[in-house]
């Protein structure tokens, strides 16, 4: 339940500081997690980013204040965090469909974006298969690239899939396969500092020693407890669908909490034809299980 409680706490913090200069980075720091981990958790559970939530709530509140007060547009713009009437008008028009000046007229329809309340919803009763695996520390030889935190939730964003395609076309997989006898491929996502706006994502193979090719690095994965989920499908769409179930079904209903550590996709060299890959998330037993 910790993930749901964390999101509820984040919403409460954002609502209490809605008229202050805040962003998802500031909210993440209040939860003592990395920017990326919070950004992904919030986006997966709510369907929008934390920054979108803040922006939509402010514009909704600004619309209400415009029609209920005699304040000038510039005063309301400054109150809700916009540095100029022009930037406020642009954002307001995009959200409400009318300019602030038009909104002040009687009878104009505006949009309302209410405060989020997180509720657990039970649907279908379908079983979600997983296994808990304890694994010792291991190292990967990986090709690594940094990505923006918000890129994961931007509609139509293909930065990570494009990274896989680039690695396939420029010989990365050939280099990796020459370095090891076991050819399981990992897509690893790093735990990062709370202050960073980027996260590292790497494509690698288990490191068996020897020289490190130029442009590659060793990625160390800590000894930890893992929850493992199979992605059933024929293409990468099943990865997003499985992550969605992990955040909305498994974590809220299980007695395991996800850690802010490296997680990864594993593409076994020999796997069932229906399994596209596996998702491994780092977890710890809840206090309930430890009693």
What's the pLDDT tens digit per position in 180-234?
888 999 999 987 655 667 889 999 999 999 999 999 999 999 999 999 999 999 8
Give the model's pLDDT for residue 29: 80
Q: Tell me the CATH class for 131-290.
A: alpha beta
Boundaries of every domain in the chain: 2-103, 131-290
**Interatomic CA distance for residues 194 and 29, integer angstroms:** 6
Give the model's pLDDT for residue 253: 73
- pLDDT interval class at 270 (50, 70, 90): confident
Element (H, E) at 265: strand 263-267
**Interatomic CA distance for residues 4 and 41, integer angstroms:** 9
Q: Tell me the CATH class for 2-103.
A: mainly alpha
β pairing state of 198-206 and 138-148: antiparallel
- pLDDT interval class at 170 (50, 70, 90): very high
- 164: number of Cβ within 10 Å: 17
């Amino acid at each position: 339940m910790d993930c749901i409680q964390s999101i509820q706490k984040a919403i409460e913090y954002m609502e209490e500081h809605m008229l202050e200069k805040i962003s998802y980075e500031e909210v993440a720091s209040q939860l003592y997690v990395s920017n990326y981990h919070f950004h992904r958790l919030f986006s997966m559970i709510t369907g929008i980013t934390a920054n979108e939530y803040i922006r939509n709530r402010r514009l909704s509140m600004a619309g209400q204040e415009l029609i209920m007060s005699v304040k000038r547009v510039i005063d309301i713009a400054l109150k809700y965090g916009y540095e100029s009437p022009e930037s406020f008008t642009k954002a307001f028009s995009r959200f409400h469909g009318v300019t602030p000046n038009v909104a002040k007229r009687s009878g104009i329809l505006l949009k309302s974006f209410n405060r989020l309340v997180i509720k657990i919803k039970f649907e279908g009763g379908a079983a979600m298969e997983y296994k808990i695996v304890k694994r010792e520390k291991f190292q990967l030889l990986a090709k690594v690239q940094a990505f923006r935190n918000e890129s994961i939730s931007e509609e139509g964003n293909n930065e990570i899939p494009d990274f896989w395609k680039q690695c396939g076309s420029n010989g990365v997989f050939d280099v990796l396969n020459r370095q090891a006898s076991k050819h399981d491929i990992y897509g690893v996502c790093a735990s990062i500092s709370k202050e960073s706006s980027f996260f590292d994502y790497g494509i690698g193979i288990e490191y068996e020693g020897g020289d490190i090719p130029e442009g590659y690095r060793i990625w160390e994965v800590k000894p930890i407890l893992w929850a493992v989920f199979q992605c059933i499908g024929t293409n990468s769409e099943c990865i997003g669908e499985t992550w969605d179930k992990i955040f909305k079904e498994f974590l809220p209903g299980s007695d395991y909490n996800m850690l802010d550590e490296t997680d990864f996709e594993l593409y076994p060299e020999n796997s069932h034809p229906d399994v596209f890959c596996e998702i491994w998330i780092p977890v710890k037993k809840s206090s309930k299980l430890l009693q």
